[in-house]
Amino acid sequence: MTDNTSRERDDAATDGGRETNDVATDGGRATDDAATDGGVASTGAAQAHNDTDYLGAEVNILSPSTPYMRDHLRIVWTGFAIWVLAVWGPVTLTRLAPGPMTQTMPILGFPLHYFLVAFGAPTSALILAFWYSRKRDALDDKYGIEHTDVAATDGGVDE
């Protein structure tokens, strides 16, 4: 693993050895020109996101250092809490109230606890995956994060 703390802002590994105002890096535009960010991050959360040094920021899941990390962890912890309830809720209810939870359901003929674990837990996992992807997309839009196509694993060579 590489220690990135010793890298300077103008390190050749990050900017190819170019100067700060080099035409190849910023197109010769002024620092506050709206064209440098496509007009997306001119104010608000997106601008703060663009000004954040994520490689140098401390990562702590209990006390995140950036607004983006705080918002993302709120989504993750909410999803985790719902998942715990969906998976362990029927098991806990069966322990606390075995009578109603072990009765056979009139329609399918399964005990209620079995149905909730066998059908409810996987279904809730699929719903949570869909929910997380929607929330994450909304968060990326809020902070002006755009996902670009990644190069093929074969070095970008088409077959």
CA distance 65 to 75: 16
Give the pLDDT of residue 45: 59
Average pLDDT taken over every residue of the chain: 74
Give the pLDDT of residue 131: 97
List, for the chain, all residue ranges whose pLDDT scores fall below the cut of 70: 1-59, 149-159
Give the pLDDT of residue 144: 84
Give the pLDDT of residue 37: 47
Give the pLDDT of residue 20: 53
CA distance 88 to 82: 10
Give the pLDDT of residue 138: 94
> Where do we find the tokens 């072990």?
102
Give the pLDDT of residue 145: 82
> Where do we find the tokens 């900017």?
15
Give the pLDDT of residue 127: 97
CB 124 within 8 A of CB 82: yes
Give the pLDDT of residue 14: 47
Write the secondary structure of 48-117 as one string of H (helix), E (strand) and C (coil): HHHCCCCCCCCCCCCCCCCHHHHHHHHHHHHHHHHHHHHHHHHHHHHHHCHHHHHCECCCCCCEHHHHHH
Stated pTM of the model: 0.57
